[in-house]
A and B are shown apart, each in its own frame.
Chain A
């Protein structure tokens, strides 16, 4: 099985550690991973700002980079959701459609495709899970608190395999952090208030790390944590699953 590794633009620039962990984790699980070097962005920042009509270039580039792979995996729920919902091509309709069906966020790839049952990982810390909205309500990585339906959580399923890790229980299991792409600067005051409230839910419940399937949420929460000189850290879930501490 060969997997195309899709590393979103801001992960590439700001959080290479998460990308390296994703690569190493997949390799440890016996997967051949290829990183097409000409990749840039899924186009979501433009589309969510109302400029979907300008994203054809990004879409074409994405197809050019990833059409050949059996699976495309990415450590970003938000970008994966965007591709699944919005990837289009005027030149090659079929390629776009097929690609929308084979792009996976890392967690769901591990639980649903590889169906892993154990992991050689240890992370002796108290961890709070931040459910990114796109991962939760878009990709259905866990049950949504609004719905009357049986509970499940794919990130929890994986984190439970990590030795020494203790999950903290939050007061609000899936409230949005307020990143929201362009929202985080266009609605700065609300965004920060939302972020601060999420951070305090984790800290008051004893989390030493906040983890998530989305670094965009975590980058926002980290900005708030750093500003308040908090000792609490953010960490992408791939880095925990790949950790041996």
Chain B
């Protein structure tokens, strides 16, 4: 079996690498300093006249908290979902979300627009570093990397954002 530890690299400027990569894959990056800044940013970027849900208690004054009591299907009309990830990967722009982060497994896929909060210190360089952090413990029933808005190029290789999942994805980095 090969030694795969040699593939872990450390970018000099992880944050810059993350922002560059995520932008390249059609994502949007915003930077926020605190919760007030975050709220202002969300208000500016998204349509709050439509249904906005979140798993973050600190946002419950501006958004509906995702509830286990509701069915997955009931979230079909969600315009924006705001959730938090504890791990993002600079080499490919993806964020790691467990079902605990999602509230309901379907949330980050069914919404029209996805906004994910990431702390700057939670960004790692490569997938190898990421899997090291994730570990093998029994901590989730479902989890996934999400790297950008849903996309397809099945028709003549023309890139179309918003195939079945979100039309846009914004990562908000909390410094």
Task: Give yes or no for direct A-B contact (beta carbon below 8 Å).
Answer: no
Residues of A within 8 A of B (CB): none
Residues of B within 8 A of A (CB): none
